[in-house]
């Protein structure tokens, strides 16, 4: 009998969900790969088939957050409502993003993981340009 194929997308989403929870509780840089593997509920081997490093997990979280924000901004732009109501909704989106990505942890990432910081900054600037 062969091994059961893994559903990479499902595992990826579960890992990203659990990584966000771990990061909220332990901090961005204090969440080790072991913490993330354990929280995900999958074997270490399966985990590493989906994410090779903590940096990849962080990039996955950033990609997912940015995609969500951009999608919501696109929907908001198309909604028929007053400018004031759109501004209120926009501020809500920004508040949701800044509760996860705060200046302190971002400074830590910039200092200790410059490649991840460059990636985050690139995604941030790309998102602003859209």
> Residue 39 contacts by C-beta under 8 Å, 6 or more apart in sequence?
18, 19, 21, 22
Please identify every stretch of the chain with a pLDDT value under 70, giving residue numbers as ranges: 1-4, 28-29, 96-103, 127-130
Helix pair 8-26, 33-40: axis angle to 10 deg = 120
Q: What's the rounded Cα separation, in Å, for the pair 27 and 66?
A: 20
The answer to the question of residue 55 being in a domain is: yes
pTM above 0.75, yes or no: no
In a domain, residue 45? The reply is yes
Write down the H helix ranges in the chain: 8-26, 33-40, 44-50, 54-78, 83-98, 103-112, 114-129
- Domain of residue 105, residue span: 8-129
Instruction: Judge whether 1 lies within some domain.
Output: no
User: Looking at residue 19, what is its pLDDT?
Assistant: 83
pLDDT digit string, tens, across residues 38-72: 888 888 998 888 899 888 888 898 888 888 878 88
User: Residue holding tokens 């979280």?
Assistant: 61
Assign residue 49 the CATH number of its domain: 1.10.357.10
- How many domains does the structure of the chain reveal? 1
> CA triplet 33, 39, 45: central angle to 5 degrees?
60
């Amino acid at each position: 009998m062969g091994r059961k194929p893994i559903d990479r997308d499902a595992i990826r989403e579960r890992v990203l969900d659990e990584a966000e929870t771990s990061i909220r509780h332990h901090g961005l840089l204090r969440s080790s790969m072991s913490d993330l593997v354990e929280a995900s509920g999958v074997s270490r081997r399966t985990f590493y088939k989906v994410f090779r490093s903590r940096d990849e997990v962080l990039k996955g979280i950033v990609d997912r957050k940015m995609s969500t924000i951009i999608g919501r901004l696109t929907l908001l732009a198309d909604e028929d409502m007053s400018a004031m109501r759109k501004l209120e909704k926009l501020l809500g989106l920004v508040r949701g993003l800044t509760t996860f990505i705060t200046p302190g942890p971002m400074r830590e990432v910039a200092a200790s993981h410059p490649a991840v910081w460059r990636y985050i900054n690139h995604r941030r600037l790309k998102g602003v340009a859209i």
